[in-house]
Amino acid sequence: MEGRISTKLVLDGLCCSNCAMKIEQKVSELKEVSHTSLNFATKLLLIETEQENNQEELLKKVKKIVKDIEPDVVVKEYKSPRAKRVKAQVQVHGQIEEHGENGCSDGCCVGHEHGHAQNEHIQHEHTHGAEEHGHSHSHGEGGSLKKKIIKFGISAVIFAIAMIFDLPKFAGFGLFFISYLLSGGDVLLKAGKNILRGDVFDENFLMGIATIGAFVIGEFAEGVGVMLFYQVGEMFQDLAVSRSRKSIADLMDIRPDYANLIIDGSEKKVAPEEVDIGQLILVKPGEKVPLDGKVVEGTSMVDSSALTGESVPREVATGDSVLGGFINKNGVLTIEVLKDFEESTVSKILDLVQNASSRKAPTENFITKFARKYTPVVTITAALMAVLPPLILPGATFTEWIYRALIFLVISCPCALVISIPLGFFGGIGGASRHGVLIKGSNYLEALNYVDTVIFDKTGTLTKGVFKVTQMNTEKDISKEQLLEYAAYAESYSSHPIALSILKAYGREIDKEQLEDYEEISGHGIKVRLNDKVIYAGNAKLMEKEGIAYDKTDFLGTVVHIGINGAYAGNIIISDEVKEDSAKAMKELKEIGVKKLVMLTGDSKSVGEKIGKQLGLDEVHAELLPDQKVEQLEVLDKQKAEKGKLIFVGDGINDAPVLARADIGVAMGGLGSDAAIEAADVVLMTDEPSKLISAIKIAKKTHNIVWQNIIFALSIKAVFLILGAFGVANMWEAVFADVGVALIAVLNAMRAMKIK
């Protein structure tokens, strides 16, 4: 945004969703900050500030906030592939070795995958692909995972001994207490630090007070058992989050690892960032095309599915353009590089998907606000439950009602929603990108659920944008070949697109020496002598001017009438072909609930209306200038349903004003088009209008998954809160209502990444 600075930071080792929410809230409260967003899935913190602010001072404040909330998280500057050289070093053996520190400083990592460091901004800047899982809530204080597992194991053994053997009360209490400290010590320590900072209402406090309360009322076994159960649930939940993060990284596994640079006739394996425009690279079978360029030698089939979602490989040969991220299937290709890696399509796609979370959906914002209010309300209710019934109800005891209140506290953690909702939206965006649909934010993904009106540009959107001869109509004394030849000779001096399409259809060399008396009649056409024949080629006005009776049929396209020696010879129709799947796309849009389909075009009214009728559009507005398209969109916007959304679909180049004004601007045919990627809210990476159907269907399925989690989590918690209040549910069941529900919700959210 103009006048603002955007800063991106990676919170290395962030494993706690609730902490992420708190960090985002605290950073947003800084007076220097205009906007902030923290993506828990990718650990990326986006901060927007006014230009005059001191960035160094702001960074210090942000680091302090993070340190206070999550002491083990390391704040790093985000370095995208568009702004840095890779840390990889090219070795003598031609292999790229990634160097970097372990990205999980707090012991949240379960292992190392020694793979390529693709999509480093999801997998921490070329670390060894460490797969994080750790405690989403309690991280321990610098202990390694191995130590945590040992502590947990010893705690479980001691707990089992205390449960199995009939020990004296004091000895039993001692074993339970030791087991409790081993399993829940980190939770208590974290809760204590948070309380000192005035941050009371978090899951560490809730679990701490609930299990300590169990000890106070003499339920030693339940206090320890619940903490052990909680830790097991946390571990599985964190594994699920780790799986989802890895799935997102895999979805975006389109980043090329290296390029075979040709230098003085020999090849050298280098990082894609090291290749300059104009240099030649070699791409062998099975390798990814590392950079955008043009094929100068070789023929091959390439798989473009990672960028476009197209399942069928395409053939490329000398002169064809290719994009970084394509996979070469068989032949060897020599490619001239046309763009630096930082400006390549694959780099921009990675950045777009990575930064999509900065534009949050209303549902995400609602859950964030809800979580902030929900926990304090339930905690206060629990306190009242512990105190009031024993004072009011006959026979009620403090022990019984304190236990019920403790159950309330355990259930109140909103982790299931705080983790699963952002993961669901981010997974939906990642899944859409795999199908060749780039959605620039969760807000646009959610808005696609409420599409009421879709407005299409014509040329290049519903039609191919390429003029060609589509029909020839001749009189009985002349063949189509002769008609085309006469027209080609007549148009041979013209550079008009109509003339060029006729010359292309003719496809043979023109002997201009045979032409005499060439005359271009402004606004009418051309008159020329070819040997003993006078040829007239032009519009209906030319035929009328020369007194030639012509075919007045209303054809779909531009009509070039041909007259020979004063007699009508026939006509040639030049038209912009309708795309193969345009009609199918219009039909399916209606089927999924879109109420109105409209076309805005600068073309003639007759052409516009014929295409509109052919495709089954509701309205067609023709002969419009760019500013008139915006005016017409304003009119249509007022006619949509109250909560409905208006989409404009255009080529992303000439339609920028309309794309910006629509609720959702969709750029068609964004493959390799910088302007399209920059201009729109949604980019369809192929020229197929049907991709819009895919985008809407993905949005609807993601929406369903998100609301399944919301309804499921709140319903289960509500049931257990009621059961706990009436003394039916125990603390074990309460823990399931917390970590178990969160685990199920996260697993359900992962389905958004696999939407087809």
Distance, in Å, from the CA atom of 93 to the CA atom of 505, rounded to the nearest integer, reads: 53
H helices present in 197-219, as ranges = 203-216
Q: Beta 664-668 vs 682-684: how paired, if at all?
A: parallel
CA distances from 245 to 120, 419, 697, 740 (A): 12, 12, 23, 19
Cα torsion through 291, 294, 298, 304, rounded to 10:
60
Helices (H) then strands (E): counts for the chain: 23, 30
Inter-residue contact 332 to 285 (CB < 8 Å): yes
Exactly one of 202, 457, 687, 738 is catalytic; name it.
Answer: 457
Cα–Cα nearest to 424, from 437, 442, 438: 442
Q: What does the radius of gyration of the chain's CA atoms come to, in whole angstroms?
A: 33
CA distances from 108 to 120, 205, 241 (A): 18, 21, 12
Distance, in Å, from the CA atom of 183 to the CA atom of 170, rounded to the nearest integer, reads: 20
For the record, the structure tokens of 170 come out as 């004091």
Per residue in 280-316, is it b (16+ CB within 10 Å) or e — as a string?
bbbbeeebbbbbbbebeebebebbbbbbbbbeebeeb
655 is catalytic: no
Q: Going by C-beta distance under 8 Å and a sequence separation of 6 or more, which residues neighbour residue 704?
A: none
Distance, in Å, from the CA atom of 568 to the CA atom of 259, rounded to the nearest integer, reads: 61
Q: Going by C-beta distance under 8 Å and a sequence separation of 6 or more, which residues neighbour residue 728?
A: none
Which residues are identified as catalytic? 457
